[in-house]
Amino acid sequence: MTRTDTSFWKWLLLFIAGCLLFLFAYGFSSVPTALDEAIGMPVWLQAILCALTSAGVLGLYALWWKWTEKRAAADLPLRRLAGDTALGFGIGILFFILVTGCIALLGGYRIDRISWDWNALVKSLFMFLVVGVGEEVLFRGIVFRMVDDRWGTAVGLIASALIFGFVHITNDNATVWSSLAIAVEAGLLLGAAYKWSGTLWLPIGIHWAWNYFQGPVFGFAVSGNGTPSLITPVIQGSDWLTGGSFGAEASIPAFVLGLALAILFLYSRKRTDGTSR
pLDDT reported for residue 32: 87
Predicted confidence at residue 38, as pLDDT, reads 85
- Rounded to an integer, the average pLDDT of 15-19 is 97
Mean pLDDT of 240-246: 96
Q: Model confidence at 36, in pLDDT bands (50, 70, 90)?
A: confident
Q: What is the mean pLDDT of residues 146-174?
A: 96
CA dist., res. 187 & res. 110, Å (int): 28
Helix (H) or strand (E) segment spanning residue 102: helix 81-105
In this prediction, residue 277 carries a pLDDT of: 36
Other Cβ atoms closer than 10 A to 208 = 24
Residue 258 lies inside a defined structural domain of this protein: yes
DSSP per-residue letters across 204-230: HHHHHHHHHIIIIIT---BTTB----S
Residue 32 lies inside a defined structural domain of this protein: yes
Domain membership flag for residue 49: yes
Cα(210)–Cα(144) distance, integer angstroms: 20
Mean pLDDT score, 17-34: 91
Burial 96-128, CB ≥16 within 10 A → b, else e? beebbebbeeeebbeeeeeeeeeebbebbbbbb
Degrees (nearest 5) of the Cα angle 24, 28, 31? Answer: 165
Residue 2 located in a structural domain = no
Q: What is the pLDDT of residue 35?
A: 85
Percent of the chain with pLDDT over 90: 87
Residue 27: strand pairing partners = none
- pLDDT: which is higher, 1 or 248: 248
Give the residue-averaged pLDDT of 50-79.
96
What is the reported pLDDT for 270? 59
Q: Provide the mean pLDDT of the chain.
A: 93
Span 100-104, average pLDDT? 98
Structural domain count, the chain:
1
pLDDT of residue 275: 42
N-term to C-term CA, the chain: 17
Report the candidate in 276, 133, 275 with the shortest Cα–Cα distance to residue 200: 133
Please check whether residue 157 lies inside any domain of the structure. yes
Residue 189 lies in a domain: yes
Q: Is residue 1 part of a domain?
A: no
pTM over 0.75: yes
Can you give the residue range of the structural domain that contains 75? 8-273
**Residue-level pLDDT at 222:** 96
Residue 276 in this model has a pLDDT that exceeds 60: no
- 189-197 vs 81-105: helix crossing angle, rounded to 10: 150
Give the pLDDT confidence score for residue 5 in this predicted structure.
Answer: 61
CA distances from 52 to 49, 119, 148, 193 (A): 5, 19, 30, 25
Amino acid 37: pLDDT: 82
pLDDT of residue 271 exceeding 60: no
CA-nearest of 94, 104, 124, 69 to 189 is: 94
